[in-house]
């Protein structure tokens, strides 16, 4: 990506903006193939859309459609095992109860499925050993002030972008001058924040927590983020924070079961990575299918929804 962008653009900052799109699937622009430049083409050429009541509406609409189709939901039940007999899926065990089914579709990270839910003889060692995508450290801030110089999407770039990715993927630690993404939905949806205030989603890229260790850089990363925002916006942002919640790689893993909090499953840091993602089915087990960000075609809401469409088609073809 970087090589192609550097050839295309004279201004280094323009190159940096287009390099940014590698992070849309948790990769490094200095390693990822230039094919990923189709992402900015879609965003700049075709445009992006905001659901009227926010991103959660996508989930709400899918839930409503599922109910209308006769789907029954069981919430707050942990799946404990996928039952197998003669290389065929027979159902799942959740909350100690066996639920019979000849089809199982999993949206959990494949690491969890193969490590916790299936017998070890089905473990695809080579596939699961591939490099993982980056994770994120997120601050959810209620800011008691409006910043007219900011918009819906804002990026405060690092002065040494290449070194930031070296530390993320080679040194396995966050950069001291991180690129900061700030999303403020109240710029468009005024009801998302009180009057004269803003809701800030502040995110920096960090390595996935591959060893499951305690996050030790929490204090440092908050200090670096605040110092950078203060310097660029010429403010004292900490005095304006009325509410704060934090989401780190450990929290992401707890909430989504993604391995080490990696946001997009495997990284796309080589030209073959798109062809090495786990398929949407298991070729050794009849009736087991996979959707979500850790399998084909990749991470992010559009691709996760597409994975579900692929599985729907596969099951329909099988039944016909």
Whole-angstrom distance, CA of residue 195 vs CA of residue 205: 30
Residue-level pLDDT at 91: 97
Can you name the residues that pair with 138 across neighbouring β-strands?
203, 247
What is the Rg, in whole angstroms, of the alpha carbon atoms belonging to the chain?
A: 21
Cβ pair 168, 28 in contact under 8 A: yes
CA angle 217, 220, 226 (to 5 degrees): 135
Q: What percent of the chain has pLDDT over 90?
A: 77
Tell me the mean pLDDT in the region 222-242. Answer: 97
| CA distance linking residue 170 with residue 164, whole number of Å | 10
Residue boundaries of the structural domains of the chain: 56-130+267-319, 134-263
Collapsing DSSP to helix, strand or coil, 73 comes out as: coil
Among 15, 13, 21, which Cα is nearest to 48's?
Answer: 21
Q: What angle do CA 270, 265, 6 make, to 5 degrees?
A: 35
319 or 185, higher pLDDT: 185
The 10s digit of each residue's pLDDT in 116-139 is 999 988 888 888 888 899 999 999
What would the pLDDT profile of 21-72 be if each residue is shown by its tens digit? 999 889 999 999 999 999 898 888 888 887 888 888 999 999 999 999 999 9
DSSP code of residue 134: P
Of 181, 190, 189, 193, nearest in space to 142 by CA: 193
Pick the CATH number of 56-130+267-319 from 1.25.40.20, 3.40.50.720, 3.50.50.60, 3.20.20.150: 3.50.50.60
Burial of 241 (0-12, 13-18, 19+ CB in 10 A): middle
Task: Give the closest residue to 280 by CA, choosing from 257, 305, 314, 303.
Answer: 314
């Amino acid at each position: 990506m970087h090589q192609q962008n550097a050839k295309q653009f004279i201004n280094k900052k323009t190159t940096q903006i287009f390099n940014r799109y590698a992070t849309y699937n948790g990769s490094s622009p200095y390693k990822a193939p230039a094919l990923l430049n189709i992402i900015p083409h879609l965003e700049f050429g075709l445009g992006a859309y905001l659901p009227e009541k926010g991103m959660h509406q996508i989930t709400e609409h899918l839930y409503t459609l599922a109910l209308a189709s006769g789907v029954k939901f069981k919430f707050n039940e942990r799946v404990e095992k996928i039952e197998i007999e003669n290389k065929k899926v027979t159902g799942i065990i959740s909350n100690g109860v066996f639920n019979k089914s000849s089809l199982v579709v999993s949206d959990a990270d494949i690491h969890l499925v193969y490590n916790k839910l299936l017998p070890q003889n089905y473990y695809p060692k080579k596939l699961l050993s591939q490099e993982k995508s980056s994770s994120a450290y997120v601050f959810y801030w209620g800011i008691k002030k409006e910043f007219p110089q900011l918009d819906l999407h804002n990026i405060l770039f690092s002065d040494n972008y290449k070194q930031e990715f070296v530390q993320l993927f080679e040194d396995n630690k966050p950069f001291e001058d991180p690129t900061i993404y700030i999303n403020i939905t109240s710029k468009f949806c005024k009801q998302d924040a009180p009057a004269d205030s803003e809701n800030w989603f502040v995110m920096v890229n960090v390595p996935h927590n591959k060893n499951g260790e305690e996050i030790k850089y929490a204090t440092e990363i908050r200090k670096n983020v605040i110092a950078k925002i203060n310097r660029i916006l010429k403010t004292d942002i900490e005095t304006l924070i009325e509410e704060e919640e934090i989401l780190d790689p450990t929290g992401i893993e707890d909430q989504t079961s993604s391995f080490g909090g990696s946001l997009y499953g495997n990284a796309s840091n080589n030209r073959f990575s798109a062809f090495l993602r786990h398929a949407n089915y298991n070729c050794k087990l009849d009736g087991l299918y996979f959707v979500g960000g850790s399998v084909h075609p990749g991470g992010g809401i559009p691709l996760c929804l597409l994975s579900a469409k692929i599985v729907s088609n596969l099951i329909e073809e099988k039944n016909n």
